[in-house]
Chains A and B, each alone.
Chain A
């Protein structure tokens, strides 16, 4: 019988009531008295020297209050990279300054070089258009391999377009090379992990106000991590003291990574609010979102897999060119390295892994973490080359994977790529997948498709990822310049209801529903009496926000720790009220009772007592009932899964239809199965979008040709099948109090190789020797591959 409350129950998402009624309050919904509008003037060329900017006409136009150019920000700092990577030769990565506004040079189409503050949006737009800029256009640097030749640089001051040349694990390089040289069989695959544009439903928006009386700033902004944004603005960019800056991320309509980062627009509205003495708001339009939100993926990779005659994996070796775009976004250097290279052993006992990643500057929008962040790139490379290997060796793709799986008794398992997996059972996932997907029935379904003139393919994938992004000591060793703990404050109010202030930020995840389930279970009270507060640095403890599927594993654990402290203190108060020893107090179903007696007080009575401490022994018990905990785990969490799908390919047109998709995931313990299923559905939608539809395309001049929904194909309902989702095979995480892993990114990690493997299988079934097609598998690409096979 499923529970209807607490851990393991699936109450409906309480936040959906306001979202579905259109009553959410997003940054752009917040109207302030005296509000003004900021509009940015952006480069229409990809690379060029700014010879002059004339703002005189714009400044005199109706309604214009101020005009800013890069010159106004020469004295302030740059937007930093949050993760230091050292190259193979020990040299630190190149970190050219990322200014608030472009100065001296524009480096990608959409690079802002000026901003107008005006009374109305229309006045600001007209004035921005009247700014005269003279740019000497330079050839655009677009292709990652070409970028490393010649002497045309995105950042002249570093004299190269290579940010770093990273090796992982460098000590394994020679042994890996040797293993590949001597292997019985080597499968090689060259592939492109296509560049994606995040496309959150709500475009970015930032509004700043400034109060001269206290020299205080408030920034409302679309952020996944308001404290991190404040830290970056205070410590690196603007120098505003942290205690003079409040950052509020109210309802945020999706992020997928793109709203982790601090962007120049946030700094601009802060500076402008002070100069004009009124609130300043900037709201991105959709074209600006395409041009300037940090993009995702964009790897060019060669991967080799060495096996013995029986199909035992002996080594993986990869060489990747990772496009970081024109400037380093905050996590741009971590994404292709430690979030990618450390996963290149996959679910397998392979003894040797060597990963080489060259990060390359180009005249394109910055590239950073996007749902999955490095792990989709790792899983795609691995699971595509394994599939190709199975075909070359004439082995069943499931059997080949099983042969090399880490077995349940091997945990904790030190992977060849440097991580210690704490738990998992990949065979159990594969068993479950074969069952729920009715893999046995595939042959009959293929025959049926063929009778209808269609090709049917089966694709499988096994993934493991590292999420619950933390722990501080480990990420510190790996180069992170920030800690990755999280924090929660549980405040029990006098009337017995609770406010739980969390460092995580919900922008679609469902924290307002799920965190109360945890607290309610622990206290034995009604979840409806518990409210979650998030997104406001003036209200919440200093947490690190939401990304890397970390909210429940890291912040949820902080909630557990803080609630434990509440229970301990409440027991003290109850003991005082019941005139019993603290050690004799038991908490059950919201009642504190003296063990072995019928004496008890309710949670509500204890709460009231905490704030009316007329007779408290103040040496032993402080008034109040409020506790804070910071939680920093011992390791990443390691969700894993077995995915499979069946596709039908129309041999006449190359059109791919995903007929069925099964995702069997190990997320450890599950707090709200419905929310988890929803997260998997969302991730699968984005992964299938990457596999079949989505591609950010720059032409050789650096013009983004896919900058609208006419040219950038987002997945729609009729592109997606009904999913079979299962998370019954969880192996609890061994190091956090909830035993949870993380489910936010899994679907986007596991699905792209599953789809591509299935399409290749379909084409092979028709006798076409197609071994690879780069994503997205558009009808044109599939048809061309069939035709050229």
Chain B
């Protein structure tokens, strides 16, 4: 399946770029991410717990960044193996467009699933992938952008609570 969209992020392009390459940000933003280690150069190792329709699984996989064209665009690709549940893999072409103090993040996502995920979840996989992408970029906006409402919190899949805009405050300190 393919989907593309854009999100306006309340931060400048350099901040957004730095956040995209930061494993802590990625960990906080990937829905269901339990662990994310590595670096932009060597790639990241990730553990994600997700439930697609009737199939719940722990996906272990590698995320690599390529076509890095700082600070404008990059490609994120990943493949997660979920054992008996099958696999999920996909990629996103991300392009950052400066817009004053803000950044417009354009993305095109391609996702594929196989094994039990495809056999049992194919009807819902498009909606699921869209939800995952929306959630990721929403989390990203919340982590990187200026908080829109003071004190509002988000809850990640693993139950951690973080103030919105935490990354931006981190890098601007």
A residues within 8 Å of B by Cβ?
44-45, 109, 125, 128-129, 287, 290-291, 699, 701, 703-708, 710-711
Contacts and interface: CB of A to CB of B under 8 A. Distances in A.
A707 B119 contact: yes
B118 A710 contact: no
B122 A705 contact: yes
A699 B84 contact: no
Contacts of B84: 125, 128-129
Contacts of A703: 113-115, 118-119, 122
A129 B83 contact: yes
Interface of B: 83-84, 86-87, 112-116, 118-120, 122-123
Contact of B86 (A44, A128, A705, A711): A44
Interface of chain A: mostly helix, strand, loop or mixed:
loop
Nearest to B83: A129
A523 to B, nearest CB: 53
Nearest to B84: A129
A109 B115 contact: yes
Given A44-B87, A129-B83, A129-B84, A711 B122 contact: yes
Contacts of B114: 44-45, 109, 701, 703
Contacts of A287: 116, 119-120
20 contacts: A44-B86, A44-B87, A44-B114, A44-B115, A44-B116, A109-B118, A109-B119, A128-B84, A129-B83, A129-B84, A287-B119, A291-B119, A701-B112, A701-B118, A703-B118, A705-B123, A707-B119, A707-B120, A708-B120, A710-B120
Contacts of B116: 44, 287
B122 A290 contact: no
A660 B112 CA distance: 44
Contacts of B122: 699, 703, 705-706, 711
B22 to A, nearest CB: 30
B149 to A, nearest CB: 40
Contacts of A707: 118-120
B56 to A, nearest CB: 14
B52 to A, nearest CB: 13
Contacts of B115: 44, 109, 703
A128 B87 CA distance: 16
A128 B84 CA distance: 9
B127 to A, nearest CB: 14
A653 B116 CA distance: 32
* Candidate in B113, B116, B120, B122 with the most chain A CB atoms within 10 angstroms: B122
B118 A699 contact: yes
Nearest to B122: A705
A291 B116 CA distance: 10
B119 A290 contact: yes
Nearest to B79: A137
A701 B119 CA distance: 12
Contacts of B120: 287, 707-708, 710
Contacts of A710: 120, 123
Contacts of B83: 129
